[in-house]
Chain A
Amino acid sequence: MTKPADQPVLVLGASSDIARAVAVDLAKRGHPLMLAGRNTESLERDAADIALRHEVEVTVHHCDVLDTAGHGAFLDGLPTLPAGLICAVGLLGDQDENAAQVTLRDKVIASNFTGPVGLIEEAAARMHAAGAPGWIIGIGSVAGDRGRAKNYVYGAAKAGFAEYLSGMRQKYNGTKLHILTVKPGFVRTAMTEGMDLPGPLTSEPDQMARGILRALDKRRMVYYDLKWLLVMTIIKLVPEKIFARMKF
């Protein structure tokens, strides 16, 4: 095994609280980081903070995940091919507005599905071709496990994301590329700020990050918080006839 210092990690959607928490834990292990996103001013602050605290090299790269045609060029323009990739790109929006307005709907689907999977596809091809051990973490959502009136635009896009990764996992099975799908439940982040979250089912971003890295270390394929695995198993078992009438 090479040292963490020789295994740079690309963090997409690096301004998300979960991605940031995972990035910090990776920096603690000594991995250099490449933070990518649209708001590079804010990412520069994250980079300075992580580099100062953990004494690793952190660089910032502009990336618009919605620009699917530019994914290849973005990856080829990085200072080095990453050994690990975390994709935490996502957009929740407001369900009623998402459903009613076509531009919002398209944006939510592109931000959670077509954009991220496009980039992951391109990255996976390059990482596989390089032949070194590598890994990809995709942050999905339990909202993708069953469509609900409350958030189905977001949920369906996350479902597509998870299934896409599932397919890629089969494709790359037996190679040096490992793919981990993470399905967080409620996490106290900027995305859920202001929501009335049920305490026992809500975790903090750094708790989530620890779980994600444990799952990566054990080469798990899908990671749920244990409580959410239980909840979603039950929800998935409810017959559609009953589910359609449920309000939650």
Chain B
Amino acid sequence: MTASQTLYGWGRWPRRDCATDRLAALPEGAVAPAAPAAPSAIARGLGRSYGDASLNPDLTRKSDGCKRILSFDAETGDIVTEGGVGLHDLLDVFVPRGWFPPVTPGSKFVTVAGMVASDVHGKNHHISGSFGDHVHWLDLHCADGTVRRCSSQDHADLFRATIGGQGLTGHILAVAFRMIAIESAWVTQRTEVAADLDEAIAAFESNLDATYSVAWIDCLARGTSRGRSLVHIGEHATLEELKGEKRRKPFAIPTRRNLTMPMDAPGWALNPLSIRAFNELYYRKGAAATGQQLVDYDSYFYPLDAIREWNRLYGRNGFAQYQCALPLNTARDALDAQLTAISEAGLGSFLAVLKRFGAGAPDRLLSFPMEGYTLALDFPVSPRSLVLMDRLDEITVAARGRLYLAKDSRMTQATFEAGYGPAVDTFRALRKESGADQVFHSLLSRRLNL
């Protein structure tokens, strides 16, 4: 049955009235319409992509009915789940048994299918690659209505286009991937203080063998401290590193108290002064505590999930996240230019993240990561921030970088094509050939002419 609902992504902009229904969980080989009684459709999981990737006014199909775990091998960690299973759900079930997802994004409120569709990366990208690197096969509900099992052996083109393909090759109904074994639910973390951008980059380059690394960067700091950062390095804690109660119950972690952002913050709450003050405090606090700390996995990987609906912080108009990937040889200068532009515009965000990427996956057509650096920033949507982001686009494109589709709501077709190169036309051709261009659409696919 079809309903109508105003939907939006995590950035709460844009918003659109969409017809909605429930995606059906179908086995391999089943045949059913992928966009029943609608000109086109897109699948939607937990709605954590920031922009317009999971919105289709014709029909947006929710994965609420596809949340089952289908099999798990406790010897190897091989797991098969339906697409709509939430990462938070998997963590609840499997962390107590000593298993962890091979790659996790910064929120656990994402679905497995969404992790495939965005080929998500985590703090271990330089070691483990993105989520697609760990997927054995997936069941895809294709344009002709057939559910096909795709892997690097079968329907390989479809497989590689689907990972990172934003749901535009079909609905991802089931995914097989491998989890990693952990000895505890704790992470040992240490922090390196970087006084400027060069030091931050040096810190990443000297920690390439660490499992997890990510930096909070002060995007408003000027002059000699431009790019000052706190680089957080983490490892899954081993049993030996735990003491007492924690050692006896290595998977028991304190339940976090969750807060909910009760309302939209007023527009004036975020301004250069408040952000500058926050950044100053945050930097000093971080710089004062650089020793090794033991942090539970929930707080370490998903700090923002503790504040439900934190996206309301950016006010009623919503916000845009700007995340670019920059190649290793141009990253330093491009980052410097972007931080200068942001600081000059006085439009910083306190959720600014810098991360070293390992090698990308060029055969996965629309996969985002590339060897180099990625910078992620939030901006409240406003005429000024949109102008600034256009300027950042110019720097990204000139540096032969690209933007992350899962975060984007505003880049132009030209910026997209420059960033992803010939893979875009290969993707378009595959969509045409498989009939996907007739069935699977989102506001994103229309905006970027996919």
What residues make up the interface of A, taking CB atoms closer than 8 Å to B? 41-42, 45-46, 48-49, 52-53, 190, 193-196
A238 to B20, CA, bound (A): 37
Please determine whether B21 and A193 come into contact, CB atoms closer than 8 angstroms: yes
Please determine whether B25 and A45 come into contact, CB atoms closer than 8 angstroms: yes
Please determine whether A53 and B93 come into contact, CB atoms closer than 8 angstroms: yes
Please determine whether B70 and A49 come into contact, CB atoms closer than 8 angstroms: yes
Q: Which residue of B lies closest to A15 (CB)?
A: B65
**Residue of B1, B3, B70 touching A45 (CB-CB under 8 A):** B70
Q: Is the interface of B mostly helix, strand, loop or mixed?
A: strand
- Known interface pairs A193-B1, A194-B3, A195-B3; A52-B71 also in contact (CB < 8 Å): yes
Contacting residues, chain A, for B222 (C-beta < 8 A): none
- B22 interfacial by beta-carbon distance below 8 Å: yes
Nearest-neighbour CB distance to chain A for B5, whole angstroms, equals 10
Contacting residues, chain A, for B22 (C-beta < 8 A): 190, 193
A42 to B25, CA, bound (A): 8
A51 to B1, CA, bound (A): 30
Nearest-neighbour CB distance to chain B for A206, whole angstroms, equals 12
Nearest-neighbour CB distance to chain B for A142, whole angstroms, equals 20
The 5 closest A-B pairs by CB, nearest first: A194-B1, A49-B68, A194-B3, A45-B68, A49-B69
**Residue of B1, B21, B68 touching A48 (CB-CB under 8 A):** B68
Please determine whether A52 and B21 come into contact, CB atoms closer than 8 angstroms: no
A49 to B68, CA, bound (A): 5
Please determine whether B69 and A190 come into contact, CB atoms closer than 8 angstroms: no
Contacting residues, chain A, for B25 (C-beta < 8 A): 42, 45
Nearest-neighbour CB distance to chain A for B327, whole angstroms, equals 42
Give 17 A-B contacts (CB < 8 Å), ordered by A residue.
A48-B69, A48-B70, A48-B71, A49-B69, A49-B70, A52-B72, A53-B69, A53-B93, A190-B22, A190-B65, A193-B21, A193-B22, A194-B2, A194-B20, A194-B21, A195-B3, A196-B3
A49 to B93, CA, bound (A): 11
Please determine whether A193 and B68 come into contact, CB atoms closer than 8 angstroms: no
Q: Which B179-208 residues sit within 8 Å CB-CB of chain A?
A: none
User: Chain A CB within 10 Å — which of B1, B27, B82 has the most?
Assistant: B1
Contacting residues, chain B, for A53 (C-beta < 8 A): 69, 93
Contacting residues, chain B, for A46 (C-beta < 8 A): 68
Contacting residues, chain A, for B69 (C-beta < 8 A): 48-49, 52-53
Contacting residues, chain A, for B21 (C-beta < 8 A): 193-194
Nearest-neighbour CB distance to chain B for A53, whole angstroms, equals 6
Q: Which B226-265 residues sit within 8 Å CB-CB of chain A?
A: none
Q: How many interface residues does B have (CB within 8 Å)?
A: 16
Contacting residues, chain B, for A195 (C-beta < 8 A): 1, 3
- Known interface pairs A52-B69, A190-B22; A45-B2 also in contact (CB < 8 Å): no
Contacting residues, chain A, for B65 (C-beta < 8 A): 190
A45 to B68, CA, bound (A): 7
Contacting residues, chain B, for A193 (C-beta < 8 A): 1, 3, 21-22
Contacting residues, chain A, for B93 (C-beta < 8 A): 52-53
Nearest-neighbour CB distance to chain A for B192, whole angstroms, equals 40
Q: Which residue of B lies closest to A54 (CB)?
A: B93
B118-148: CB near A (< 8 Å → 1, else 0) gives 0000000000000000000000000000000
B49-76: CB near A (< 8 Å → 1, else 0) gives 0000000000000000100111110000
Please determine whether B27 and A41 come into contact, CB atoms closer than 8 angstroms: yes
Q: Which residue of A lies closest to B89 (CB)?
A: A53
Nearest-neighbour CB distance to chain A for B146, whole angstroms, equals 16
Please determine whether A45 and B82 come into contact, CB atoms closer than 8 angstroms: yes
Q: Which residue of B lies closest to A92 (CB)?
A: B1
A46 to B66, CA, bound (A): 10
Contacting residues, chain B, for A52 (C-beta < 8 A): 69, 71-72, 93
A48 to B71, CA, bound (A): 7
A140 to B114, CA, bound (A): 37
A194 to B19, CA, bound (A): 9
A194 to B3, CA, bound (A): 4
Q: Which B17-33 residues sit within 8 Å CB-CB of chain A?
A: 20-22, 25, 27
Q: Which residue of B lies closest to A197 (CB)?
A: B3
Contacting residues, chain A, for B20 (C-beta < 8 A): 194
Contacting residues, chain B, for A49 (C-beta < 8 A): 68-70
Contacting residues, chain A, for B70 (C-beta < 8 A): 45, 48-49
A45 to B71, CA, bound (A): 9
Nearest-neighbour CB distance to chain B for A193, whole angstroms, equals 5
Beyond A45-B25, A195-B3, 17 extra complex contacts between A and B, CB < 8 Å: A42-B25, A45-B68, A45-B82, A46-B68, A48-B68, A48-B69, A48-B70, A48-B71, A49-B68, A52-B69, A190-B22, A190-B65, A193-B3, A193-B22, A194-B3, A194-B20, A196-B3
Contacting residues, chain A, for B72 (C-beta < 8 A): 52
B1-45: CB near A (< 8 Å → 1, else 0) gives 111000000000000000011100101000000000000000000
Contacting residues, chain A, for B71 (C-beta < 8 A): 48, 52
Nearest-neighbour CB distance to chain B for A39, whole angstroms, equals 11
Q: Which residue of B lies closest to A17 (CB)?
A: B65
A41 to B72, CA, bound (A): 18
